[in-house]
Amino acid sequence: MLPEMMRFEPTWEDLELLKDGGVAIIDQYFIGTALSTFSFRIHEEREILGFDPKTTYNRFCGDNEKECEQPTHWKIVY
């Protein structure tokens, strides 16, 4: 973790209420996986909440991937 970053560490009560998905939405930085519906929903929720796209649209890349494409940033228009 970068020195200027903070990690949201929920209490057991918070975790029971928010579940892992809720924690992923409100944590400071999110890294998902490619083509994951779960990751897509986290991206969507973080976009709605106004999180910085640089801390939202990220994914881990495999060691053997020659081209590592990051998730597409779909801007929500109200």
pTM of the complete model beyond 0.85 = no
Give whole-number Cα distances, 78 to 47, 53, 75, in Å.
12, 17, 10
C-alpha 76: how far from its chain's center? Answer: 16
Burial class (CB in 10 A: 0-12, 13-18, 19+), 51: buried
User: Could you state, in order of their start, the residue ranges of all structural domains in the chain?
Assistant: 9-78
Tens-digit pLDDT profile for the chain (78 aa)? 456 666 778 889 988 998 877 777 777 677 777 777 888 888 888 899 888 888 888 888 888 888 888 888 878 887
